[in-house]
Structure 1
C-alpha cells in the first residue's frame, strides 16, 4: 500500500507515522504543502493522511494549496480509500462532512486524559493519556461514531464510513523531538495564557520518554484504520 501524507508546517511533521508505515511494509510520500509543493491527485495512492497545522490557517485567508486540499478531501470522502486526519487535518474532514468547526472554550496543550465513548469503535484503552496542542474543536458529523473526549474537548475524534475515515484531534504520533520543536518554533494555541488546560513547558519536558507510551496506541489505531 502507498500512502500520501500532507504536511502543512515544518514543525508539525509525521513523527512516528512514517516509521510505522515503513515497518509494516507500506511505502509513503510526504508532500510539504507549506513549502509550495502541489497537492497530489487522489488516484496516485491507496490511503491519505492529513497532518496538523498552525491554527492561524483556520482564520487567515486560505492559500491556494489549502483550497486545493479541501477539494481533495471532499473527493476522497466519495472514494473507497482510507483517510486519516490529525489535528487540523481532522478539522478539514469534519468540515467536509458538515460538522461545526469553531474555537473551543479553552485552549488545550500538554498531556490530558481521553475517555472513550461507550459506543466508540476505536481499538484503544477506555482511558489513555494523549498529547494536545489546539484551541479549535469540532462537533460530531452526521453518521460518525465518536472516539470520546477530554475535559476541554468533548469530541477528540470520530470514525466515519465503517472506520474508513478517521479523525483525531489529539496526537498519538508525536515524539519527544516533535514536542521540543513545537515549543521552540510554533505559536501557542489562542488563549493559552488563560486556559486551565495548558501545561507549563517544564511539565511537558519533565518526562522525556513519556511520548514513547503513545507508540503502541498509534500502532493499534493505524492498524485498525488500514484494515477498514
Structure 2
C-alpha cells in the first residue's frame, strides 16, 4: 500500500509511524502542509494518516485547513482507511459531528488508558500511552470508543467498522520526537494548574517506556489496515 501522511508542524512529525510502514513493506509520502506543500488528491494513495499538530489550529485554523478538511471528508465518504492522531483525530471527530472543546484538565506525559467494555481495539485492557493535549472530543455518532484515562474519558474511537480511527493518545512517539517537542514547543494550555501534567524530567526519565509503545502501535495499525 502507498500511504499519505499530513504533517502540521516541524515538531509534529510521524515519529515511529514511518518506520512501521517501511518494516511492513508499505511506501509513503509525507506532506508538510505547514511548509506550503499542497494537500494531496484523494485518489493518489491507498490510505491517509492525519498527524498531530498545534492545538491552536482548532480555534484558529491555518489557511490550508479548508483543503485538508475537504480531503478528510472525502475519505470519510469513501472506502479507504483514515487515521487521525492528536489534532488529526480532533479534525476527524469534528467532521463526524462530535463536539471538540477544551477539556477540564490538560494532560501530558504517561497515563493509563483503560479499554471501554465495547471497545473494538486489539489492545490490552489497561496500557500506558503518551498524552499531550488540553482539547478533547466527544464520541462521534455510530462510533465505538477506545477507552479513556482519568483526565479524558474518550481517548479514541473507531468508525465504519474500523476503517476510520481517531486517537487522542499517542502510540507513535519516540524518545527523540518528544525530546524535540519539549525543547521547541510550550506545554498545552492549562498545564500549570493541572494534576495530570508531568515535568520534562518525568516524561523522559525512562526511555524504555517509548519502546514499549512499539508493539501497541503495531497491533493498532495492523488492525486498522485489515479493516478495509
Q: Does 1:74 align with 2:73?
A: yes
Structure 2: runs of 5+ lacking an equivalent: none
Distance in 2 (CA, whole Å) between partners of 1:51 and 1:77 is 16
CA RMSD across the alignment: 0.6
SS of the residue 1:204 aligns to:
helix
Per-residue deviation, 1:208: 1.9
Normalized against structure 1, the TM-score is what?
A: 0.98
Distance in 2 (CA, whole Å) between partners of 1:125 and 1:209 is 18
Partner of 2:213: 214
Distance in 2 (CA, whole Å) between partners of 1:5 and 1:103 is 26
Give the 4+ runs in structure 1 shifted more than 6 A: none
Distance in 2 (CA, whole Å) between partners of 1:128 and 1:149 is 11
Partner of 1:20: 20
Q: Does 1:179 align with 2:178?
A: yes
Kept in 2: contact 1:54–1:186 (CA 8 A): no
SS of the residue 2:102 aligns to:
strand
Map 1:127-206 → 2, pairs under 5 A: 127-206=126-205
Partner of 1:93: 92
Per-residue deviation, 1:201: 1.3
Kept in 2: contact 1:175–1:212 (CA 8 A): yes
SS of the residue 2:106 aligns to:
strand
Per-residue deviation, 1:200: 1.1
Listed one character per residue, the Cα deviations across residues 109-166 of structure 1 (whole Å, up to 9, x for unaligned) are 0000000000100000000000000000000000000000000000000000000000
SS of the residue 1:77 aligns to:
helix
Distance in 2 (CA, whole Å) between partners of 1:163 and 1:186 is 32
Moved more, 94-103 or 200-209: 200-209
Distance in 1 (CA, whole Å) between partners of 2:128 and 2:219 is 15
Distance in 1 (CA, whole Å) between partners of 2:9 and 2:63 is 15
Distance in 2 (CA, whole Å) between partners of 1:227 and 1:37 is 30
Structure 1: runs of 5+ lacking an equivalent: none
Per-residue deviation, 1:51: 0.3
Distance in 2 (CA, whole Å) between partners of 1:197 and 1:176 is 20
Listed one character per residue, the Cα deviations across residues 28-83 of structure 1 (whole Å, up to 9, x for unaligned) are 000000100000010000000000001111122x2221111011111110000000
